[in-house]
Amino acid sequence: MSSRRNFLQNSVLGLAGSAVVPFLGSAATKTNSLAPAADLAVGVAGYTFYKFSLEQSIVMMKRIGVTNLSLKEIHLPLNSSDEKIAAAMAKFKEAGINIYTVGVIYMKTKEAVDQAFEYAKKVGVNMIVGVPSYDLIAYSEEKVKAYDIRLAIHNHGPEDALYPAPKDVYDRIKNMDARMGMCIDIGHATRAGAAPEKAVRDFKERIFDLHIKDVSIAAKDGKAIEIGRGVIHFSALVESLRKIKYKGVCSIEFEKDMADPLPGIAESIGYFKGIVAADK
């Protein structure tokens, strides 16, 4: 496992190095395409670009050659006008970027739930990655049925009082409408003591989305790190995803060096796609 990991890390250094070129220059408009991941679609979670504008995020997406994006409200606020939403979506479409979901959206009031579903409808997606409070889960289910928009509840690790690990989500929604599911954040799951490859198999019918990252140690104090440099067993994860015939997106969420994320994103995507290709 160690030698294989080192090989894959070395194989993506060229890609990561090319990403260091200033991303707002003319060269940044060229797509640095990676080989397609075949049966497992790769995307990016919008929080990765937390410190950048919508336009800068598009440029970086084009640099790394990824077209699936989970839209975060920092780039298109929840209270945006219809005109602003239409303008933003036109920019994504022109760039060839597929907005496949929105979130993570936190839902602490009924008004927040209402706003999230109306926002998703206007953006034109059929899924929300969200975090409803316990007392709003049933109300969220009503909205899922009314809008026919799936809700993927996100786990946030041992610090999260609501949903530390995937099982904490599953236990709350397992008997609800089939459109109530989860977005497993594999890094937070690992820090909460849950093996991602096992969670994928255990909760397969409710997994709608994945946030893919690596962490330094499998404990609360684990830190975000480039994929392949941490403790997560990605070959086992990919094997589980294939076993359950996962059809969603594997969205990279890079939370290290967020002021300069492009090299780390490129390395992470290169490593993940290398694992996918190697494990066919």
Q: Which residues contact 87 (CB under 8 A, 6 or more apart)?
A: none
| CATH number where 108 lies | 3.20.20.150
Residue 177 reports pLDDT greater than 80: yes
If you average pLDDT over residues 188-198, what whole number do you get? 98
Residue pair 8/16 in contact (Cβ under 8 Å)? The answer is no
The DSSP 8-state label assigned to residue 216 in this structure reads S
Domains: count for the chain: 1
- On average, the pLDDT of the chain sits at 90
Expressed in angstroms, the distance from the first to the final Cα of the chain is 16
Torsion of CA 236, 237, 241, 247, to 10 degrees: -150
- What are the pLDDT digits (tens) for 142-164? 999 999 999 999 999 999 999 99
Q: Which of 280, 279, 265 is nearest to 34 (CA)?
A: 265
Whole-number pLDDT of residue 13: 43
If you average pLDDT over residues 187-204, what whole number do you get? 98
Range of the domain at 58: 2-278
Q: How far apart are CA 267 and CA 38, in angstroms?
A: 19
Whole-number pLDDT of residue 79: 97
Confidence of residue 24 (pLDDT cuts 50, 70, 90): very low
Residue 126 reports pLDDT greater than 80: yes
Residue pair 120/150 in contact (Cβ under 8 Å)? The answer is no
Please give the model's pTM, rounded to 2 decimal places.
0.88
List phi, psi (to 5°) of 45.
Answer: -80, 130
Residue 30 reports pLDDT greater than 60: no
If you average pLDDT over residues 191-215, what whole number do you get? 98
Whole-number pLDDT of residue 144: 98
Whole-number pLDDT of residue 38: 52
Whole-number pLDDT of residue 279: 72
Confidence of residue 12 (pLDDT cuts 50, 70, 90): very low
Residue pair 184/210 in contact (Cβ under 8 Å)? The answer is yes
Q: How far apart are CA 162 and CA 164, in angstroms?
A: 6
